[in-house]
Amino acid sequence: NFMLTQPHSVSESPGKTVTISCTRSGGSIASNYVQWYQLRPGSSPTTVIFEDNVRPSGVPDRFSGSIDTSSNSASLTISGLQTEDEADYYCQSYDGSNQGVFGGGTKLTVL
């Protein structure tokens, strides 16, 4: 199996841009789609990106996803940060045996 490693926390000011990384150890990041989920305390997760870079309907285009095979990582970029973006963000992918793996989560603080 493989692991997805995220920074524990990131912080940035309103209106700025922040990028959260998700590095895959074991296998290529391009082997399986990467998803990103937002989780606020007391709420169910919501999906902000699936299939590496696809936004579900209703998710603002301030959210974008990408993968970088040179660093074997995926990234979630949030531009024009708003206070409502403050949440935990999780990356997720699957291995070749269709077993899912989550990253440990990144706490985004918008100060």
Partner 1 sequence: EVQLLESGGGLVQPGGSLRLSCAASGFTFSNYAMNWVRQAPGKGLEWVSIISGSGADAYYADFVKGRFTISRDNSKNTLYLQMYSLRADDTAVYYCAKDPVERNVVVVVTPAGADSWGQGTLVTVSS
Q: What is the Cα–Cα distance from 41 to 22, expressed in whole angstroms?
A: 21
Taking the complex as a whole, the smallest distance from the CB of residue 34 to partner 1 amounts, in Å, to 8
Amino acid at 78: I
For partner 1, the closer of residues 27 and 94 by Cβ is 94
Angle at 21 between CA 20 and CA 27, to 5 degrees: 155
Q: What is the Cα–Cα distance from 94 to 101, expressed in whole angstroms?
A: 6
For partner 1, the closer of residues 13 and 57 by Cβ is 57
Q: Which residues of the shown chain bind partner 1 in the complex (CB under 8 A)?
A: 1, 32-33, 35, 37, 39, 44-47, 50-51, 54, 56, 88, 90, 92-94, 97-105
For partner 1, the closer of residues 20 and 105 by Cβ is 105
